[in-house]
Amino acid sequence: YSHCAIGTAMCLGFALPDNFCFPYAAEGFSDFWRRWHISLSTWLRDYLYIPLGGSRDGTWRTYRNLMVTMMLGGLWHGAAWTFIIWGALHGLLLIIERAVRLSRLAAWDLWSQISGRLIIRIVTLVVICFTWVPFRAKTWEQTVGHWRAMVGWSTNEGALGIGREAIATAWLTFLLLIAGHWMLRDHTLEALWSRSPQWLQVAVMSSMIIALCILPGEDRAFIYFQF
């Protein structure tokens, strides 16, 4: 939706900022929120976190401000406990990350090495995937059921409502998505497009036009469509 809006605005002569910047290549949870739904995270920072005091009034008040901001951010998505839990989880993750950065662990040489950065990316990605469950689940029971299936505590395929072939397809799509995010982490689509050869640009545009004509798809509006 964001790219559609940005592209439409460009056709009318307006330049809108990017709203997502390869968030699944984030190194840490604060980096994730600098890349995910940038317009919302910026609004939460400027109009909630900073007015509450930000990080100016000591460690514990900073943790409180982080938790309150993220819980209200969850409530913004909908009046349901699952959204509040999702916000609270992200608040807790930001608090843990900040506490680690203030501890002796932050001075460990491993984090400046390629292996250390890879570990941080993987941990961030896995935890973020777990937090998406309450965001999309309708009830707390459904959330717990999905979490149990994700860690292998439930062997029933019906726990997720999909079969093995669908799971394999989902894994392939997921891995391709993550590979793309990791490779493009420090780039922009505009810069990549400008450096691409003309034949590749023609091939991409032609494929997109053909896909629009022969693959109309289904009406599966994402949750942000309601906003």
Active site amino acids: 77
Distance CA 164, CA 72 (A): 37
Torsion of CA 82, 86, 91, 97, to 10 degrees: 150
Q: Write down the number of H helices and E strands in the chain.
A: 10, 0
Q: What is the DSSP letter of 24?
A: G
Please answer whether residues 50 and 68 qualify as being in contact, where contact means their C-beta atoms are separated by less than 8 angstroms.
no
Nearest to 132 by CA among 147, 148, 145: 147
Question: What is the distance of C-alpha 198 from the center of its chain?
Answer: 32
Nearest to 93 by CA among 55, 140, 134, 127: 127
